[in-house]
Amino acid sequence: MTILGIDPGTTKIGFGVIKNERNSFEALDYGIISTPGKNKCFDYKMISEKLSFIINTYKPERAGVEKLFFSNNQKTAMSVAEARGVIILTLANHNVPIVEFAPHQVKQAVSAYGSAGKAQVERMVRIILKIKDPIRPDDAADALAIAICATSNTIY
């Protein structure tokens, strides 16, 4: 099964594509979708186009998307929520089933500790996916963790 993990953001959206066959994991691709951040409409169009390219390239059977957590900065929270809406609509337009996770669920799934730090999560992702080099940026490591989490969860 091919799974796409997405870590929503405003100008950097992490993505990770993995393959899971008989509980053997392999990273197919990972990185970030970046936007200039100067024009929301242009940025959202760019997010959708780049995400569509990834979907058309790897044809994921499922996508995991991190839920928005509460933020003290309402402006940032709104921007992330808007980008998340674009992501979910793009996935829906490509008929990719979606599962959503809170950050602590993702951490629990990959590290067995719901309050794990970014370094712990990245290290466990590297172990699970047999990646030797550090995964950069953190958004890509988070997206791979979300994809791993999505391998064993029910679609909503």
Residue of higher predicted confidence among 129 and 74? 129
Binding residues: 7, 66, 139
Residue 136 C-alpha from the chain's centroid: 14
* Residue 66 annotated in active site: yes
Catalytic residue among 43, 66, 122, 142: 66
pLDDT score at 70: 64
**How many structural domains compose the chain?**
1
Catalytic residue among 7, 43, 122, 142: 7
Binding residues for Mg(2+): 7, 66, 139
SS (H, E, C) 10-48: CCEEEEEEEEEECCEEEEEEEEEEECCCCCHHHHHHHHH
With a pLDDT cut of 90, the percent of the chain lying above it is 76
d(CA 96, CA 112): 28
Query: Residue 65 is inside which H or E element, if any?
Result: strand 62-66
Amino acid letter, 77 = A
Residue 156 lies in a domain: no
Query: CATH number of the domain that 9 lies in?
Result: 3.30.420.10
* pLDDT over 50 (residue 156): no
Residue 42 lies in a domain: yes
**Which residue, 113, 95, 96, is CA-closest to 147?**
96
Tens digits of residue pLDDT in 19-66: 999 889 999 999 999 999 899 999 999 999 999 999 999 999 999 999
* Residue 139 annotated in active site: yes
Residue 13 lies in a domain: yes
Phi, psi values for residue 132, rounded to 5°: -80, -45
pLDDT score at 153: 60
Q: What range defines the domain where residue 96 resides?
A: 2-150
Residue 155 lies in a domain: no
